């Protein structure tokens, strides 16, 4: 079924085992974090009773766990495909994994043994001011865990940079900018994966560095509050810059799977063109400039920053998102594609990514934000592009690389659980958005009676998502040992 | 009204997008040459993108002309002014009664961590909000149209009793 044979890099047992570790761990963590998410929705729906301190611990672990694993899982997609074009180091990829695990253990310890519950955004000075609920050590443990995870990612991006520079000599050429500005004739064989990876390494290195700065400052402030003081507005800017860039970078890494796999399923090539390169070039800046939309309700921010936040949010959607989705639709239209689990997930991911951006952009309008900020509208839009955009990319990738020749046909099960996942997600997302429209605050452990019915419907959706995910998880784990993880068809 | 409009606009665009994807999904069973499909769809692309960019830019700029956030400094004194301070986990207001139909100025700050100051009416509909931060004062100006007892809910996660951080504000009928 493939059109152009991709040159596969030397696959050693080590590299496929490392990928195995990434895929299995990521799926397990995703599943566990979903259980935490479902528990929160059950609690808000008054279906079960969970004490507020536990609820906020679950909120913290769910946020940190999901964002972290989204980054880790996506980086395995980038690694897998980028390796076909540049020479990446498997050991460093493995080091990233080990540091991630250490960080996760620290975070889990801080939350479940240290009672830390300041949410994954650790907004200064909350980690230091728990009113006696958690200690400074617990806070330092959590922040330190995040920091170690960040170091792992930085090492990984350093290796990516080294490898890309070795082949393309500079980032300018790797992004294909010489075809835009240099007057060089476009080389259609320039891989989209390289363009995307270059953009990601730039933005995410900056994002993680900003995160590291505020993490270190917060840790120092815990122990030396008189010597290290932090401006809370600066802290907010750094935190949201880091958080925004990091989660967006995850999607930009994962979308490489769509560029590489959708052509196989449609038997049509996805080549770079000038618009594609322009889009990625613009997004590099846009994605970093839009973060003030998290600070629209901080009136002390300079007005120009809020104006940039709003206008860039509207413009940010156009480059990569629209160009990619339009490209995907063009590829699929009248292609005679065979719809199986993987191709459906790939196509769904394009829908979810764009659709989820719609309520996001609307909320980035200051006058809307005045009544929607920090309501359930916000988890509504980001679960939209995470559950129906990012995760389908991750699942499709995992299913693809674990394909084996002697596969049992599970078409009916595939269809049932795919539907469970899809419709469950729509219910979960829809109820978040409707609750947001009803002004229900986000991050509330206990809901007023008026808000409970919506959360109960949400709980049904959450359960369906969990079941769908469990199926993907089992399906992949059952065959991952047999699969060579070098699947190319 | 505003909340319904926001929902309507979102649902509208999501519905259009869904229709496109569903159509392409079902229309994909027949295979055609890629070249004509590509040429046709890429032919629409400049028009569609130009339209969307202009619309997006228009809305983004248009909704800023009357800047939705009150001026922060150098303003004339407002008759109805309330100092709001957030504490873990309660609000302190130096005045809890105001009149409808006249602007109310809230000078919002925090004594400890970040809080969010959200103003809800009796039907639990949020009218407006602003962040409460340590070391900074955010100025929020709002004119209440309807008298009643408004609820002030915390909208920024501030610790274990975040959801219990609620106060009240009485809005009296407009002065004659
Ligand atoms: C079964 C699937 C899921 C369920 C039931 C679920 C549920 C929830 C709930 C109830 C909240 C808190 C809402 C509130 O503020 O009151 C939440 C927050 C969040 N979720 Fe999920 N979620 C799911 C999947 C995901 C996925 C796949 C991701 C990311 C890849 C994710 C990322 C987040 C993040 C970043 C937050 C914000 C945490 C915070 O406010 O600090 N969730 N989720
Ligand atoms: Cu508060
Ligand atoms: Cu609060």
pLDDT of residue B30: 86
Q: From chain B, pick out residues whose CB is under 8 angstroms from the CB of A268.
A: 34
Tokens coding A330: 């063009």
CA–CA separation, A458 and A444 (whole Å): 15
Residue B84 phi/psi, 5-degree rounding, is -115, 130
When pLDDT is averaged across residues A276-280 and rounded to a whole number, the result is 93
pLDDT of residue A8: 56
Choose among A233, A310, A335: nearest Cβ to B64: A310
Tokens coding A165: 């520079």
Q: In what order do the strands lie in the sheet with B80-87?
A: B90-93, B80-87, B103-110, B138-143
pLDDT of residue A403: 86
Q: Which residue has the higher pLDDT, B147 or A408?
A: B147
Quick check: B160 and A307 CB within 8 A? no
Q: Where are the domains of chain B?
A: 2-64, 76-172
Specify whether the CB–CB gap between B86 and B115 falls below 8 A. Answer: yes
pLDDT at A170 over 80: yes
When pLDDT is averaged across residues A289-296 and rounded to a whole number, the result is 94
pLDDT of residue A456: 97
Chain A: closest CA distance from residue B96 (Å): 22
Query: Which residues fall within 8 angstroms of residue A265, CB to CB, at 6 or more apart?
Result: A1, A337, A338, A342, A343, A346
A236 touching B (Cβ < 8 Å): yes
Atom of ligand 1 nearest to the CA of A40: 10
B112 touching A (Cβ < 8 Å): yes
B22 touching A (Cβ < 8 Å): no
pLDDT of residue A476: 94
pLDDT at A207 over 90: yes
DSSP-derived secondary structure letter, A293:
G
pLDDT of residue A6: 45
Just give the CATH number of B76-172.
2.60.40.420
Q: From chain B, pick out residues whose CB is under 8 angstroms from the CB of A388.
A: none
CA–CA separation, A368 and A93 (whole Å): 42
The CA–CA distances, whole Å, from A193 to A7, A13, A154 equal: 14, 24, 19
Which domains can be identified in chain A, with CATH numbers? 14-482 (1.20.210.10)
pLDDT of residue A115: 97
- CB contacts under 8 A, A 41-60 vs B, are 52-53, 56, 59
The whole-chain average pLDDT of chain A stands at 93
Give the tens place of pLDDT for each residue, A85-112: 999 999 999 999 999 999 999 999 999 9
Supply the ipTM of this predicted assembly.
0.96
Q: Which of A237-241, A392-396, B18-22, B26-30 has the lowest mean pLDDT?
A: B26-30
pLDDT in tens, chain B (176 residues): 799 999 999 999 999 999 999 999 999 988 899 999 989 999 998 899 999 989 999 998 999 998 999 999 888 888 999 999 999 999 999 999 999 999 999 999 999 999 999 999 999 999 999 999 999 999 999 999 999 999 999 999 999 999 999 999 999 999 87
CA–CA separation, A255 and A238 (whole Å): 26
Number of residues written out for chain A: 489
Give the tens place of pLDDT for each residue, A250-273: 999 999 999 999 999 999 999 999
Quick check: B124 and A367 CB within 8 A? no
List alpha helices for A402-451, DSSP H: 411-437
Residue A183: pLDDT band (50, 70, 90) is: confident
Highest mean pLDDT among A132-141, A308-317, B74-83 belongs to A132-141
């Amino acid at each position: 079924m493939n059109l152009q044979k991709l040159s596969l890099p030397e696959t050693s047992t080590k590299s496929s085992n490392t990928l195995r570790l990434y895929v299995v761990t990521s799926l397990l963590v995703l599943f566990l974090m979903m259980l935490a998410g479902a528990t929160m929705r059950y609690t808000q729906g008054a279906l079960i009773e969970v004490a507020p301190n536990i609820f906020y611990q679950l909120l913290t672990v769910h946020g940190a766990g999901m964002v972290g694993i989204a980054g880790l899982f996506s980086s395995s997609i980038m690694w897998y495909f980028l390796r076909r074009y540049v020479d990446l180091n498997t050991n460093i990829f493995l080091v990233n994994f080990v540091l991630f695990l250490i960080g996760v253990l620290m975070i889990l310890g801080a939350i479940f043994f240290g009672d830390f519950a300041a949410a994954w955004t650790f907004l200064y000075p909350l980690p230091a001011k728990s009113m006696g609920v958690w200690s400074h050590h617990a806070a330092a443990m959590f922040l330190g865990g995040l920091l170690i995870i960040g170091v792992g990612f930085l090492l990984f991006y350093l290796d990516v940079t080294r490898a890309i520079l070795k082949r393309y000599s500079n980032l300018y050429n790797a992004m294909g900018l010489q075809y835009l500005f240099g007057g060089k004739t476009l080389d259609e064989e320039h891989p989209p994966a390289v363009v995307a990876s270059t953009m990601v390494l730039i933005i995410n290195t900056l994002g993680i560095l900003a995160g590291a700065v505020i993490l270190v400052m917060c840790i120092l402030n815990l122990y030396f509050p008189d010597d290290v003081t932090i401006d809370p507005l600066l802290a907010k800017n750094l935190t949201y810059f880091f958080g925004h860039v990091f989660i967006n970078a995850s999607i930009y890494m994962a979308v490489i799977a769509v560029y590489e796999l959708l052509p196989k399923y449609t038997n049509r090539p996805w080549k770079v063109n000038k618009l594609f390169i322009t889009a990625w070039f613009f997004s590099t800046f846009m994605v970093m400039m839009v973060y003030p939309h998290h600070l629209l309700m901080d009136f002390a921010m300079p007005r120009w920053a809020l104006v940039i936040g709003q206008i860039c949010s509207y413009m940010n959607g156009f480059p990569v998102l629209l160009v990619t989705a339009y490209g995907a639709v063009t590829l699929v239209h009248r292609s005679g594609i065979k719809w199986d689990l993987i191709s459906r997930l790939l196509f769904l991911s394009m829908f979810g990514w764009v659709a989820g951006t719609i309520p996001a952009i609307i909320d980035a309008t200051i006058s809307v934000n005045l009544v929607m900020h920090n309501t359930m509208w916000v988890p509504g839009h980001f679960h939209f592009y995470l559950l129906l955009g990012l995760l389908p990319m991750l699942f499709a990738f995992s299913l693809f690389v674990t394909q084996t020749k002697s596969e049992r046909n599970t078409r009916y099960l595939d269809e049932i659980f795919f539907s469970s996942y899809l419709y469950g997600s729509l219910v979960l997302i829809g109820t978040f958005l409707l609750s947001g429209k009803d002004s229900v605050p986000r991050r509330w452990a206990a809901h007023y009676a008026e808000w409970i019915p919506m959360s109960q419907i949400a709980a049904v959706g959450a359960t369906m998502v969990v079941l769908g995910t469990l199926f993907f998880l089992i399906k992949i784990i059952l065959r991952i040992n047999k699969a060579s993880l070098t699947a190319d068809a | 009204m505003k909340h319904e409009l926001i929902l309507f606009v979102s649902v509208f665009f999501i519905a259009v997008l869904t229709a496109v994807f569903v159509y392409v999904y079902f229309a994909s069973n027949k295979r055609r040459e890629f070249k004509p499909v590509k040429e046709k769809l890429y032919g629409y692309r400049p028009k569609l993108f130009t339209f969307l960019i202009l619309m997006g830019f228009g809305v983004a700029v248009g909704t800023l002309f009357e800047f939705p956030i009150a001026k922060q400094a150098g303003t004339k004194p407002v008759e109805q002014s309330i100092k709001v301070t957030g504490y873990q986990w309660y609000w302190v207001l130096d005045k809890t009664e105001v009149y409808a139909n006249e602007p109310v100025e809230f000078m919002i700050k925090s004594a400890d961590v970040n809080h969010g100051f959200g103003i809800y009416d009796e039907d639990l509909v949020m009218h407006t909000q602003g962040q409460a931060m340590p070391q900074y004062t955010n100025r929020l100006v709002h004119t209440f149209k309807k008298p009643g007892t408004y609820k002030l809910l915390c909208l920024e996660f501030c610790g274990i009793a975040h959801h219990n951080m609620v106060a009240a504000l009485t809005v009296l009928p407009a002065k004659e």
